[in-house]
Homo-oligomer: A and B are copies of this chain.
Amino acid sequence: MGKETTKTTLLEIGTRIILEKGFNHTGIQEILQTAGVPKGSFYYYFKSKEDFGLQVLENYAQAYQATLERCLEDQTLTPLSRLRRHFEESCKRFESRQCRNGCLIGNLSQELADQSEIFRSRLEEILSHWRERFAKCLYEAQEAGEIPSDLNPHDLAEFLLNSWEGAILRAKVTKTIAPLEAFIQIVFESTLKG
Contact = CB atoms under 8 A, between A and B. Distances in A.
Interface string A22-58: 1011000000000000000000000000000000000
Interface in A100-134: 100-102, 106-107, 109-111, 113-115, 120, 123-124, 127
User: For the complex, would chain A's binding face be called helix, strand, loop or mixed by DSSP majority?
Assistant: helix
Most buried by B among A20, A158, A170: A170
Contact of A21 (B115, B166, B169, B175): B115
| Copies of this chain | 2
Given A107-B110, A164-B166, A167-B166, A159 B172 contact: no
A194 interface: yes
